[in-house]
Amino acid sequence: MRLEIGNFYVKDIRFGKELSYQAGILTIQKEEALKFVREDERITEAELYIAKPGDKIRMCPVKEAIEPRVRPDGRSVFPGYTGDLTRAGEGVTHALKNCSVLVVGRHWGGFQDGLIDMSGEGQKYTHFGELQNLVLVADTNEVFEQREQQKKNDALRRAGHRLAEYVAQCIKELQPEETEVFELEPMIRRANETEKLPSVVYVMQPQSQMEELGYNDLAYGWDMNRMLPTVMHPNEVLDGAMVSGSFMPVSSKWSTYDFQNCPNIKALYREHGKTINFLGVIMSNLNVALEQKERAALYVAQIANTLGADAAVVAEEGYGNPDADFVGCIVALEDAGVKTVGISNECTGRDGQSQPLVTLDEKCDAIVSCGNVSELIELPPMETVLGELEALARDGLSGGWAADEKLGPSVREDGSIIMENNAMFCGDQVCGWSPKTMKEF
402-434 confidence digits (pLDDT tens): 999 999 999 999 999 999 999 999 999 899 887
- Residue pair 15/30 in contact (Cβ under 8 Å)? The answer is yes
pLDDT at 3: 98
pLDDT at 280: 97
- Residue pair 174/21 in contact (Cβ under 8 Å)? The answer is yes
- Kindly state whether residue 249 falls inside one of the protein's structural domains: yes
Q: Which DSSP category does 302 fall into?
A: H
- Kindly state whether residue 437 falls inside one of the protein's structural domains: no
At 82, the amino acid letter reads T
- Residue pair 104/137 in contact (Cβ under 8 Å)? The answer is yes
297: left (phi over 0), alpha (psi -120 to 50) or beta: alpha
Degrees (nearest 5) of the Cα angle 103, 109, 112? 80
pLDDT at 146: 85
- Residue pair 418/92 in contact (Cβ under 8 Å)? The answer is no
Which helix (H) or strand (E) is 321 found in, with range? Answer: helix 321-335
Range of the domain at 42: 2-423
Provide CB contacts within 8 A for 306, sequence distance 6+.
none
Provide CB contacts within 8 A for 209, sequence distance 6+.
216, 225, 247, 286, 287, 288, 318, 321, 322
- Kindly state whether residue 440 falls inside one of the protein's structural domains: no
- Kindly state whether residue 395 falls inside one of the protein's structural domains: yes
Q: For residue 44, how far is the Cα from the chain centroid? A: 26
pLDDT at 149: 86
How does pLDDT run across 245-280, given as a tens digit for each residue?
988 889 999 999 999 999 999 999 999 999 999 999
When divided into structural domains, the chain yields a total of 1
pLDDT lower than 70: segments of the chain: 438, 441
- Residue pair 367/342 in contact (Cβ under 8 Å)? The answer is yes
- The pTM of the full predicted model, rounded to 2 decimals, is 0.96
pLDDT at 79: 97
- Kindly state whether residue 292 falls inside one of the protein's structural domains: yes
- Kindly state whether residue 433 falls inside one of the protein's structural domains: no
Report the candidate in 168, 207, 141, 150 with the shortest Cα–Cα distance to residue 71: 168
- Kindly state whether residue 432 falls inside one of the protein's structural domains: no
Per DSSP (E only), the strands in 229-383 are: 230-232, 242-243, 277-283, 311-316, 339-346, 367-372, 376-379
- Kindly state whether residue 429 falls inside one of the protein's structural domains: no
